[in-house]
Homo-oligomer: A and B are copies of this chain.
Amino acid sequence: MAKIVIIGAGSGFGRRLSMDILAREALRQGSISLVDINEESARNVGQWAAALVRQLGAPVEVKWTTDRREVLEGADYVVVAISVGGRAYGGSPYYEEVMIPSEFGVEQSVADTVGVGGVFRALRTIPEMLRICRDMEELCPDALMLNYTNPMAMLCWAMNEASSIEVVGLCHSVQGTAHQLATYIAKPYEEMTYWVAGINHMGWFLRLEWRGEDAYPLLYEASEDPETRARDAVRFEIFRQFGYFVTESSGHMSEYVPYFRKRPELLEEFNLQARRPPKEAPPSRWNWQDPDFLAEVRGEKPIELKTSREYASGIINAIETGEPFSFNGNVPNNGSIVNLPEECVVEVPCFADSGGVHVCVVGELPTQLAALNLSNIMVQDLAVQAALEGDKEKAIHACMLDPLTAAVCSLGEIRQMCERLFEAERHLLDYLD
């Protein structure tokens, strides 16, 4: 009889996770509440989910609202997938977070993880995440937060420090990459085993096995084919140079390290582009007027039961039924990876059962991988401190330590770039001194 709340339900996660949850028989009871500050989005997703519930004949209560406090009371699970201050990847302030660094020669690709874009996204998002935590502490202190919002590591870190709410951060990059690797070596995914650890978007396949045997030789062989290699140029380069495959796409990975985006010819060599987001973004990313969608909502067209690879429904199912479920979660390190800081947020193997979410001990990462993770973790650490203490100088230090930014700019340039962004996001960042 789980009570599930999805905040930021208009984001795509609303429909995807509702579907995943309702696809599991054991979860067809209790309630799903869909929250979005955009009333139109909340209503549309809500009506669609209600239609699905009707279609399944399941005794699940569906609610939608623009005010999370109306539905948080007594919640068991709170999924969060929000964007603060504008659309996640278009218009202000995202536009400035990409274009101002670009003026200084820093050409980010996604700008939502670390880097100047990641740091400012954290600075504008953390206060709202903490407000959600405060509401949860009051209305559902024992609920588990499943966070999908980026920058994953910094948001979870801040909440771990500043709230008593249990947070597990979820992403699809581990399982997605595992599927890609199966494709690269042309083996069935079901026959593969892996053990992945590191930080979100920069996790490492410490073990990759096909039928119980090391599959890295197969992957190396596959990478000898220029066509395969070109499909994932940065990650194959990382794999061949450092010995391990990484969990986020070549585009993403290229901006977490200093090697790929500092010179135009390198961008070209690795099939990379400079991000150019739209200056204005539509208020909602979805076309709620799509005839198929409308037909589904009206019950005139059956909704196809198609589940995703997201972990959320598996975790909820494990806790509700006791059937163990294993996944990679973003959790406080606490010694799981011994050569990363105790208090940082790592993405490591976890499993869930009726006792909740349990984190596995990983041990030591190979030094070169720990070094690459650390170069990002130090940025996260300073950005989180900046947000929690309202300390602008620490935010600037965070950007100064970002590997790509530091590879391109001088300290003076980075400070200037930060000042430009503080100015551009003044309305969101006035809590900084």
Contacts and interface: CB of A to CB of B under 8 A. Distances in A.
Nearest to A360: B358
Contacts of A378: 367-368, 370-371, 374
A358 B206 CA distance: 14
A283 interface: no
Contacts of A325: 324
A243 B392 CA distance: 13
B355 A195 contact: yes
A273 B118 CA distance: 35
A266 B410 contact: yes
A242 interface: yes
Nearest to A339: B341
A380 B194 CA distance: 30
Given A242-B397, A361-B359, A406 B259 contact: yes
A317 interface: no
Contact of A351 (B207, B324, B370, B381): B324
Nearest to A262: B407
A15 interface: no
Interface residues of A, number: 64
A238 B336 CA distance: 31
Contacts of A263: 410
A393 B326 CA distance: 34
Contacts of A194: 355
A374 B259 CA distance: 19
A234 to B, nearest CB: 10
Interface string A347-364: 001010111001111010
A363 B334 contact: yes
Contacts of A336: 335, 361
B341 A334 contact: no
Contacts of A335: 334-336, 338, 361
A400 B240 CA distance: 13
A242 B406 CA distance: 14
Contact of A354 (B193, B258, B269, B338): B193
Interface string A235-253: 0011001110000000000
A336 B361 CA distance: 7
A258 B400 CA distance: 10
Contact of A349 (B358, B367, B406, B415): B358
A407 B410 CA distance: 11
A351 B326 contact: yes
A127 interface: no
Contact of A361 (B241, B242, B326, B358): B358
Interface string A186-219: 0000000111000000000001010010000000
Of the candidates A207, A266, A338, A410, the one having the most CB atoms from chain B within 10 angstroms of its own CB is A410
A93 interface: no
A188 to B, nearest CB: 13
Interface of A: 193-195, 207, 209, 212, 237-238, 241-243, 257-260, 262-263, 266, 269, 322, 324-326, 334-336, 338-339, 341, 349, 351, 353-355, 358-361, 363, 367-368, 370-372, 374-375, 378, 381-382, 385, 393-394, 397, 400-401, 403, 406-412, 415
15 contacts: A209-B355, A241-B412, A258-B406, A259-B410, A260-B410, A324-B326, A326-B351, A326-B353, A334-B335, A335-B336, A367-B378, A368-B382, A371-B382, A374-B374, A406-B407
